[in-house]
Chains A and B, each alone.
Chain A
Amino acid sequence: MITVYVPGDSAARSVGADTVAAHLVAGAAARGHDVRLVRNGSRGMLWLEPFVEVDVNGTRFGYGPVSSDDVDSLLDAGILEGAHHPLAHGNVDQIEWLARQQRVTFARVGVIDPLSLADYEAHGGLAGLRHALTMADDDVVAEVLASGLRGRGGAGFPAGIKWRTVLEAQSDQKYVCCNADEGDSGTFADRMLMEGDPFTLLEGMTIAGLAVGATQGYVYLRSEYPDAITRLNEAIDIARAKGWLGNDVLGSGRVFDIEVREGAGSYVCGEETAMLESLEGRRGMVRPKPPVPALQGLFGKPTVINNVLTLASVPMVLADGAAAYQALGTGRSRGTQVFQLAGNIARGGIVETAFGVSLSELVNDFGAGTRSGRSVRAVQVGGPLGAYLRADSLDVAMDYEALADVGAMLGHGGIVVFDDTVDMAQQARFAMEFCAVESCGKCTPCRIGSRRGVEVIDRVIAGVDREANLMLLDDLCTLMTDGSLCAMGGLTPLPVRSALRQWPEDFGGNS
């Protein structure tokens, strides 16, 4: 029996993985081979998808990108024995792109069968939860605090402090909410984790719930991720059936359960308070803070809200200890970050590595420059509200503080690359337009300001009263930054101003 892996990840499926899998099974059978097909997660080398792996005596050989037309030649070449083929990449563990990474959160993604609890445990799964169950709640929270784990949703708030606030809050009911409304442009790590290793997220949430005294968790998952919704729900059913979710978590007598709630297509619902409104069945509008959700969150109860990657990092922290996690990273950015390379890039995908790697290394080494082959002109880091960086300033270290120093932000770790054909005035306009389309409509600077922002930029581009309109745009950016209720309106000026500052020539000015 030979095990063949064809990713069931939706990125792989979008380029034909399902057909490839079907042809492989049929072709193998026709050739008299007994094949076991596993739909694993993606390794994150998206330019190689569909990326087929064959397990030959414990070594996995990779082939890709495989189209269904390639299947016969692959089988004929003997890939079931790990044979060579023009699409072969050899031993997967030795592929440099992967080998250079420090995969912690994504350690199992692409490796295991996402819904096999046996596979999960065989690869270190549940060790964190089992360890946590032997500890006092305070100690679990202390461990997370000591690890230096910070929120991966963008704000970078220390997870341990948030947890401690919830732990210390007195309430008859507490919640854990996982923010899986991954809406930033160029980001897909949450999705790939939920599709490729859903148990890790569930384990992290369970540890969080038990540590702070919550009995119910919700995953707020965007409707644009139907595969992730299905996969996560299947994983929850399995975890319940196996007794690690529900009324007696792993026989401890403690209670924790998880439910997936589907979003409805609003970017701003990735903002934590808007997400709470949406979870409560209301229109997704931002709530003012204070009160912070840790004290008055879902249904007014103390609530831990963390991003998928934050919670998925927790099992490792508990399994290997805070020190092991703390050992990775730099400065106040500890552990690893899952970077997502996207846009006009030759080798897009997931790069998980310790904080401190340079943006240049990510774009030029891992990413191998633009897909178009032209030179890089701009890189946007941190989603649609992130700053643009010039090609000559990519030497910046990728950590929270270093990026802040150059007026940028890490956000959710999305990196979008543009080549020299990009019109940065149009990109600035797009930032305002994105805000206008996605604003929840609550606060005035964001609701009306973003619309006016588009109009003012249009006038600047058209050369109408250029100086006056640039001054108005600057005032508007200040108003949106200082006056907006949440980061949506507050950060929209970041890409606009970074474009204006660094590429004035695109706005009709002098370079």
Chain B
Amino acid sequence: MTLLHEPDFGTPERDSDVTVELTVDGAAVSVPAGTSVMRAAAEAGLSVPRLCATDSLDPFGSCRLCLVEIDGRKGTPASCTTPVETGMVVHTQTPRLANLRRGVMELYISDHPLDCLTCPANGDCELQDMAGVVGLREVRYGFDGENHLDAPKDETNPYFTFDESKCIACSRCVRACEEVQGTFALTIAGRGFDSKVSPGGTSFFDSECVSCGACVQACPTATLQEKSVIDLGMPTRTVLTTCAYCGVGCSFKAELRGDELVRMVPFKDGGANEGHSCVKGRFAWGYATHRDRVTEPMVRESIHDEWRVVEWDEAFEFAASRIKSIQAEYGTDAVGGITSSRCTNEEVFVVQKLVRAAFGNNNVDTCARVCHSPTGYGLKQTFGTSAGTQDFKSVEKTDVILLIGANPTDAHPVFASRMKRRLRAGAQLIVLDPRRIDLVRSPHVEAAFHLPLQPGSNVAVVNALAHTIVAEGLVDREFVAQRCEPAAYAVWEKFILRPENSPEAVASIAGVEADDIRSAARLFATAGNGAIYYGLGVTEHSQGSTMVMGMANLAMATGNIGRDGVGVNPLRGQNNVQGSCDMGSFPHELPGYRHVSDDVVRQQFEEVWGRTLQSEPGLRIPNMLEGALSGQFRALYVQGEDIAQSDPNSTHVKAALSAMDLVIVQDLFLNETSSFAHVFLPGTSFLEKDGTFTNAERRINRVRPVMSSRTGLSEWQVTAALANALGYPMHYDSASEIMDEIAGLTPTFAGVSFAKLDEVGSVQWPCNEGQPDGTPIMHVDQFVRGLGNFVETPYVATDERTTRRYPLILTTGRILSQYNVGAQTRRTENIRWVDEDVLEMHEADAEPRGIADGSWVFLTSRVGETTLRCVITDRVPPGVVYTTFHFPVTGANVITTEYSDWATNCPEYKVTAVEIRTASQNHVARGGQLAAVDQDGVSIDDLLDGETLAIKEEFAHERADVKLARMLDQIVKNSVGLTPEDQVERVARHLRGFWTPAMVDELAQAVSTGAVTLSPPAAAAVAELTAGAPSAAS
């Protein structure tokens, strides 16, 4: 294996229906109109010397090495900036050109250090190459002239250096920062001979640079160079793989020297990223070899014991025997597992298989429960499948972007760069977000509308947008008539025209101007191709699923589905959220989103797996935790998720975990959850994995092992070994065999295999006989479900309300340099940028509380409290505060409640009523402990008042049956407007589809004893499902 050099055609590919034919050095070439002479020459296999040109950037014409002669034209035009013309006769090599090129190189080298032998770019330097190409033999100017050889190095960035003495002022870095990344952090300062690259007149670290690496990538010399290359030397071989951070799924060339990873370089042929990267994927991979890595299995009798390192077999035996005895004592359903969106499709597939076949139940859930489960539900109801509709490239054809509850520049930076490029080229932007995210106004990008809506009012606003579109006759009638269910549309149209959905009615709920809603709606409906992009600001609400359906309604009503530039597009949080859901990680669905009650499908799995499978939904994560506290659920296998930090109401999560008899954690590092574990199975980083990730655009990318497993086993081998220890035979020789099994059992994956992926790079599912090359855009001629389904989406306010005691709303998010619970990024130099979670609040809220910028504050909700530093900013509107959950020391999820989406139980992270008080250093309670105690032993509750404490007590001890009743009432509330019969039917269907029979029984029991009271439709539905049991409605 050698270092992979990608061809560079000098200037970007041009898209044109017109073909131009010309002659270059006697060779006939045909290229699309608009192509540069340089690229045409490259297509003919001729390389024109160049330094400032590269095919990822628009031509610039500065180096003047690529001059050519063209018959009939005077002078020597630059081939990079000269477009081809029919019949053009181009000469790239003439004596005149040779003289000019040598002259240019002579000038360059007269101001360049002659230290090639000790230069870190030696062997990978375009300047060096070009000196050879043009045959430079002497520099007649000498080396005594004015020069930049003593320019100081800027080494402030943790990942790369800027050595100005080697800069040839080609502006590739500046252009990459502008054109590729869209940050505009770099510029050329000074003029003439003094022109030099500058990060805005400060150091790289203090500049607006986001360390995406595009400049380093673009630099033709050692001016911008990875520190790892300076330290380790040039890499010698390449392994193509896929980043394991966010759901963009960037392709990278892992470049190694021997077995040592030297650098990660974004891959130009990567479908998701096309050669771009962000600071995390490009640079923050050092955690993989961090000293904190646990590489040996460990067990302990009790969570109060010390960990004991054991051999793998002992760990498997320890775990298996406990699972067996728990199931013997408490029943088959007392155990369950959680799959990880960080792991490969193959790893996820075997975990859910372990649960369904070896545990013998459907108690499998995934971290998507807490992020994008409403996407799955909502898009399935309306379109028929649980996935985003577009490929990322589609945004290049979009005319208006509706961005809701997502912050792409921080959370999906590489896609954000694509989006910004399109916005700079003229597309319009509408942002729905309580917080003023960077995209609202950033260099050369400004949103047409920013609606800073109150957290929790998404559904009201999306309804008002749709209301405007319907009321003002802006519906795409033709699309609706041809593509959607007429009856459903008619019902929806009546619903959406109701006065409570008008912008005027919604304005006061959402805190935005009615006129702005109307104008934004008109823009979305009339600007051409409209695309909706959204994130967890949509899903993590009590009406997350409603909102997803609301957006789907909007897209259908405006005819924005089924072609380039449109669609409804979730921006997935983790690298393999899409894949983990595809792989059957939900308790009600087998791989490929097929319900466990589907006998035909289940039978196929039973045949291949050799076990009878349960036909009823299993437990979701919140149900498992509830079951643990009530004693029915006793053992949990958690792969790659730190639920004690990431899931809401951490106090409750930790209580549940400590109530279990067995917790198995499989991860890279000891984490918050492993504090409650009995078995620790060391996991592998993405650099050790062999398999596939599926990104937010349904693109299945290969993950290839860059280094050998630090634990000696692949994670799927660990899962298989556990299955075997449980007496369920599971054997695969390779990860590709697992994919073959997936393909054999899942129609949308039927055409997928490692061999195919190795051949074509990546495919977007569905990939099967009908779509052998995959499916970049879904629902092109018809929806997966046939006709598109409009669903009524009544706005129901969350139960989480602000009160006199908790007058502010906390909402949460993510930042660029850190990722999720921070397990990876905290173990890299990324902490140089941000090393703590901070609370953003508006001056109007800070001032009356006497809170100063940068001071410590208590953040208290009905369920918990923590302490963190405060930043006063007008990014958040008055009444709303914001923080992140990257640092366990803050434990922001101590604050968040267990309120969740009515359909999927996705937690309502985005809306928590809170109060903020100043805290002195003495009060600082880090680590999310239950009580913040100051030196005098006074808790935060004492500082507040009795009422606060009472509410907290009540909430913390909400009975399981009360909780179930509350959830069911939510379902009823979300189906208002239906006839009573339809309402009962919808609730019953929901219970059958998503609730375990045990949960329904428990609720029926509570109803019969009068412990809880249900609304009539809910009671009727419960009665219907538990025929024979007394109904409270009767």
Contacts and interface: CB of A to CB of B under 8 A. Distances in A.
A483 B67 CA distance: 7
A444 B63 CA distance: 5
Contact of B67 (A268, A289, A482): A482
Contacts of B190: 441
B442 interface: no
A447 B100 contact: no
A482 B193 contact: no
Contacts of A268: 191
Given A451-B193, A472-B140, A472-B141, A441 B169 contact: yes
B193 A443 contact: no
B145 A436 contact: no
Interface in A415-461: 435-452, 455-456
Query: Which residue among B64, B78, B81, B111 has the maximum number of chain A CB atoms within 10 Å of its CB?
Result: B64
Query: Which residue among A435, A448, A449, A455 has the maximum number of chain B CB atoms within 10 Å of its CB?
Result: A448
B388 interface: no
A288 B61 contact: yes
Given A479-B100, A483-B64, A447 B193 contact: yes
B195 A479 contact: no
Given A455-B146, A483-B76, A443 B63 contact: yes
Nearest to A490: B75
A475 B195 CA distance: 24
B188 A443 contact: no
B445 to A, nearest CB: 14
A127 interface: no
A438 B83 CA distance: 29
Contacts of B559: none
Interface string A84-127: 00000000000000000000000000000000000000000000
Query: Which residue among B103, B111, B169, B188 has the maximum number of chain A CB atoms within 10 Å of its CB?
Result: B103
A497 B145 CA distance: 22
Nearest to B81: A288
A283 interface: yes
**Chain B interface size range:** 35 or more
Given A452-B110, A455-B141, A283 B192 contact: no
Contacts of A435: 192
A479 B103 CA distance: 7
A136 interface: no
A444 B108 contact: yes
B64 A484 contact: yes
A105 to B, nearest CB: 32
A468 B187 CA distance: 38
B183 to A, nearest CB: 15
A266 B83 CA distance: 30
A63 to B, nearest CB: 45
B61 A444 contact: no
Contacts of B61: 288, 442-443, 485
Contacts of B76: 482-483
Interface in A459-481: 468, 472, 475-476, 478-479
A251 interface: no
B48 to A, nearest CB: 14
B736 interface: no
A444 B64 contact: yes
A441 B108 contact: no
B171 interface: yes
A450 B100 contact: no
Contacts of A472: 140-141
Contacts of B108: 444, 448
Nearest to A435: B192
Nearest to A434: B192
A444 B192 contact: no
Nearest to B77: A288
Contacts of A266: 191
B63 A436 contact: no
Given A288-B78, A441-B169, A445-B64, A482 B145 contact: no
A447 B193 CA distance: 5
A350 interface: no
A253 interface: no
Given A285-B188, A468-B140, A482-B67, A444 B195 contact: no
Q: Majority SS of interface residues in chain A?
A: helix
Contacts of B193: 436, 439, 441, 447-448, 450-451
Contact of B192 (A438, A452, A455, A478): A438
B83 A447 contact: no
Contacts of A483: 64, 67, 76, 100, 103-104
Contacts of B59: 288
A447 B195 contact: yes
B186 to A, nearest CB: 11
Given A482-B75, A485-B64, A452 B107 contact: yes
Interface string B157-172: 0000000000001010
Contacts of A478: 99-100, 103
A438 B192 CA distance: 6
B60 interface: yes
B194 interface: yes
A445 B107 contact: yes
B768 interface: no
Given A448-B110, A451-B145, A283 B187 contact: yes
Contact of B141 (A439, A445, A450, A456): A456
Interface in B78-113: 78, 81-83, 96, 99-100, 103-104, 107-108, 110-111
Interface string B210-242: 000000000000000000000000000000000
B99 A475 contact: yes
Contacts of B96: 482
Nearest to B64: A483
B145 A452 contact: yes
A285 B191 CA distance: 9
B597 interface: no
Contacts of A285: 188
Contacts of B67: 482-483
A181 B62 CA distance: 23
B60 A288 contact: yes
Query: Which residue among A438, A446, A452 has the maximum number of chain B CB atoms within 10 Å of its CB?
Result: A452
A32 interface: no
A408 B44 CA distance: 41
A58 interface: no
A472 B140 CA distance: 7
Given A437-B192, A445-B107, A448-B111, A485 B62 contact: yes
Contacts of A445: 64, 103-104, 107
A485 B61 CA distance: 7
A442 B195 CA distance: 8
B66 to A, nearest CB: 11
Query: Which residue among B65, B83, B107, B195 has the maximum number of chain A CB atoms within 10 Å of its CB?
Result: B107
Contacts of B100: 478-479, 482-483
Nearest to A445: B64
Nearest to A280: B444
Given A445-B104, A451-B192, 19 more contacts: A288-B61, A435-B192, A436-B192, A438-B192, A440-B195, A442-B171, A443-B63, A443-B64, A445-B107, A446-B192, A447-B192, A447-B195, A450-B192, A451-B145, A452-B107, A455-B145, A455-B146, A479-B100, A485-B64
25 contacts: A288-B59, A288-B60, A290-B82, A439-B192, A440-B195, A441-B191, A442-B62, A442-B195, A443-B61, A443-B64, A444-B62, A444-B63, A445-B103, A445-B104, A448-B107, A448-B193, A450-B192, A451-B192, A468-B140, A478-B100, A482-B76, A483-B103, A485-B61, A485-B64, A485-B78
Interface of B: 59-65, 67, 75-76, 78, 81-83, 96, 99-100, 103-104, 107-108, 110-111, 140-141, 145-146, 169, 171, 187-188, 190-195
A-B pairs with the 5 shortest C-beta distances? A441-B195, A288-B81, A288-B61, A439-B192, A479-B103
Interface of A: 266, 268, 283, 285, 288-290, 435-452, 455-456, 468, 472, 475-476, 478-479, 482-485
